[in-house]
């Protein structure tokens, strides 16, 4: 293959870019390439997403539809369910889910299925990059053999690289182009091509020595967050028993200009990364006879947080002379983080199921999620619709459970109209009125 020619096409932005999976990672990536002058095609099996892109509409709350429409109008972006077009791409980037299986083992079905699809259309001279989070060794030991099954060889006929996604939905300060990209390649040529590709769209590209190092970087980043969130979740429970406000402690501690980084407690972990990624490493560690006791302990603490919230709610109801059985509870916020419509692994879904298992009657309100979509693990909740957040509506509930602290929610008004408020996010911590109605959880 002609490496110099490929790099030249990447640098003058005449290369055609294919992004497989146009969800929370793939869509902003495709838009970033399009904004820098590349011709981009988004490939997805979901005809709804493809249709939305082709109509210039957004299905992600933090991505303006105007951005998609502008890229379409400029002729820089298109989307399709026809994967035969992969053969026309110069670079193919995989942004597909990597969930956990029933025993918390890596589920690489989306990666392997996509690799088989690519293999059917792979041609010499293409650059293939995996961005999906996974364990070290996936690119070399799983993806590469599938791509090579048709006879083309990595490094000789096509190039293979790995670059972990670093999307933070809803973070306006760090959009895709402002987040440095780590890149590892299967050989020097692959690394050089991948660096040349990402150099065109991000502030900095950081090459590392191997595919495995790049894969480990993503796990390290999210395990760091998971462990520290577990630590502060545990401290929250301890400080509650001591009568100490953990939020006040964190606010004071973060005034230290060195040696401390604030993390915040919550009702559990959400999003596609933090609840899942640590277990990719624990699984991989077991394969080489290593233990990850610290990571697994953090997982236990974070997984236990929804149960803690339900316990606090139950105790608060009991103090009011009521029981969870038959109580009407409003779950305020469904998405896993504020100001987005992303419900992947949201603790709100777990909380609703736990409360209903205790025979509570549960509704939810979320301005970003008007209806619960179909999910892999919470199929029974699909189709439920958000209720209005008015004083009359709140009066019908025995408790309001704050799960997501969206900026659009008037928490002062919520507390004023509610009989009982369980706050898992510290959204009410500065309020002075009606403090007797509020419990932290």
CB neighbours (10 Å) of residue 432? 5
Which residues are identified as catalytic?
Answer: 273
Residue 255 scores a pLDDT above 90: yes
What number is the average pLDDT over the span 277-300?
93
pLDDT at 219: 95
Residue 378: predicted pLDDT: 92
Q: What is the per-residue pLDDT for 1? A: 67
CA 158 to CA 83: how far, in whole Å? 18
Q: Which domains does the chain have, with CATH numbers?
A: 3-209 (3.40.50.720), 225-440 (3.40.50.720)
DSSP string, 9-69: HHHTT-SEEEEE--STTHHHHHHHHHHTT-EEEEE-S-HHHHHHHHTT--SSTTS-HHHHH
Backbone angles phi, psi at 399, to 5 degrees: -155, 145
SS3 call for 92: strand
- Distance separating alpha carbons of residues 148 and 160, to the nearest angstrom: 11
- pLDDT tens-digit readout, 349-381: 999 999 999 999 999 999 999 999 988 889 999
pLDDT over 90, % of the chain: 92
DSSP notation for 284-315: HHHHTT---HHHHHHHHHHHHHHHHHHHHHHH
Question: End-to-end CA distance of the chain, in Å?
Answer: 59
Q: Percent of the chain having pLDDT more than 70?
A: 100
Please state, as a whole number, how many other Cβ atoms lie within 10 Å of the Cβ of residue 385: 11
Nearest CA to 381 out of 361, 352, 342, 359 is that of 352
Least trusted range by pLDDT, from 117-121, 217-221, 275-279, 307-311: 275-279
Q: Is the pLDDT of residue 272 over 80?
A: no
Residue 49: half-sphere exposure toward Cβ, Cα within 13 Å:
17
Tell which residue, 398, 397, 394, has the closest CA to residue 416. 394
Provide the mean pLDDT of the chain. Answer: 95
Q: Where are the beta strands (DSSP E) in 107-256?
A: 127-130, 159-162, 181-185, 205-207
**Phi, psi angles (nearest 5°) of residue 51:** -60, -40
Mean pLDDT of 80-104: 95
Give pLDDT tens digits for 296-342. Answer: 999 999 999 999 999 999 999 999 999 999 999 999 999 999 999 99
Question: In Å, how far are 26, 93, 121 from 43, measured between CA atoms?
Answer: 9, 10, 13
Q: Rounded distance, CA 27 to CA 209, Å?
A: 28
Q: Which secondary-structure segment (H or E) carries 439?
A: strand 438-440
Residue 175 and residue 197: Cα distance in Å, rounded? 18
> Distance (Å, rounded) from C-alpha 138 to C-alpha 149?
16
Kindly tell me the sign of the dihedral angle through the C-alpha atoms of 377, 378, 379, 383.
negative
SS3 7: helix
Question: Taking the CA of residue 236 as centre, how many other CA atoms within 13 Å lie in the half-sphere pointing to its CB?
Answer: 28
For the cut 70, the answer to whether the pLDDT of residue 179 exceeds it is: yes
**Separation of alpha carbons 304 and 314, rounded Å:** 16
Indicate whether 57 pLDDT > 70: yes
Give the model's pLDDT for residue 361.
97
């Amino acid at each position: 293959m002609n490496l110099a020619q490929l790099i030249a096409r990447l640098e003058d932005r005449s290369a055609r870019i294919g992004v497989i999976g146009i969800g929370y990672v793939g869509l902003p990536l495709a838009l970033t390439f399009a904004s820098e002058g590349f011709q981009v095609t988004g490939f997805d099996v979901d005809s709804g997403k493809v249709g939305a892109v082709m109509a210039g509409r957004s299905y992600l709350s933090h991505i303006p539809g105007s951005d998609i429409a502008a890229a379409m109008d400029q002729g820089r972006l298109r989307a399709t369910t026809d994967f035969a077009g992969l053969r026309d791409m110069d670079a193919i980037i995989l942004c597909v889910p990597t969930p956990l299986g029933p025993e918390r083992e890596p589920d690489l079905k989306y990666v392997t299925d996509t690799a088989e699809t690519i293999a059917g259309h792979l041609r010499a001279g293409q650059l293939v990059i995996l961005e999906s989070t996974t364990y070290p060794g996936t690119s070399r030991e799983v993806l590469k053999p599938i791509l090579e099954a048709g006879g083309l060889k990595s490094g000789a006929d096509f190039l293979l690289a790995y670059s972990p996604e670093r999307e933070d939905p809803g973070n306006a300060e760090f959009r895709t182009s402002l987040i440095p990209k780590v890149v590892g390649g299967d050989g020097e040529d692959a690394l050089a091509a991948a660096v040349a590709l990402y150099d065109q769209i991000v502030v900095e590209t950081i090459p590392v020595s191997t595919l495995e190092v790049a894969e480990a970087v993503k796990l390290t980043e999210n395990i760091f967050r998971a462990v520290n969130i577990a630590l502060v979740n545990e401290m929250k429970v301890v400080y509650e028993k001591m009568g100490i406000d953990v939020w006040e402690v964190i606010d004071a501690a973060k005034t230290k200009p060195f040696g401390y980084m604030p993390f915040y407690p919550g009702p559990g972990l959400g999003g596609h990364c933090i609840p899942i990624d640590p277990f990719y490493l624990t699984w991989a560690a077991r394969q080489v006879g290593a233990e990850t006791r610290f990571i697994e302990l953090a997982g236990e603490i974070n997984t236990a947080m929804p149960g803690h919230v339900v316990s606090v709610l139950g105790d608060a109801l009991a103090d009011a002379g009521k029981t969870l059985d038959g109580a009407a509870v409003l779950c305020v916020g469904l998405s896993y983080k504020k100001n987005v419509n992303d419900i992947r692994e949201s603790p709100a879904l777990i909380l609703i199921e736990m409360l209903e298992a205790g025979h509570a009657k549960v509704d939810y309100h979320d301005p970003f999620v008007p209806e619960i979509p179909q999910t892999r693990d919470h199929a029974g909740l699909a189709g439920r619709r958000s209720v209005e957040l008015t004083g009359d509506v709140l009066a019908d509930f025995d408790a309001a459970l704050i799960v997501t602290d969206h900026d659009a929610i008037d928490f002062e008004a919520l507390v004023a109209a509610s009989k009982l408020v369980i706050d898992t996010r510290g959204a009410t911590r500065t309020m002075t009125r009606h403090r007797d109605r509020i419990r932290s959880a």
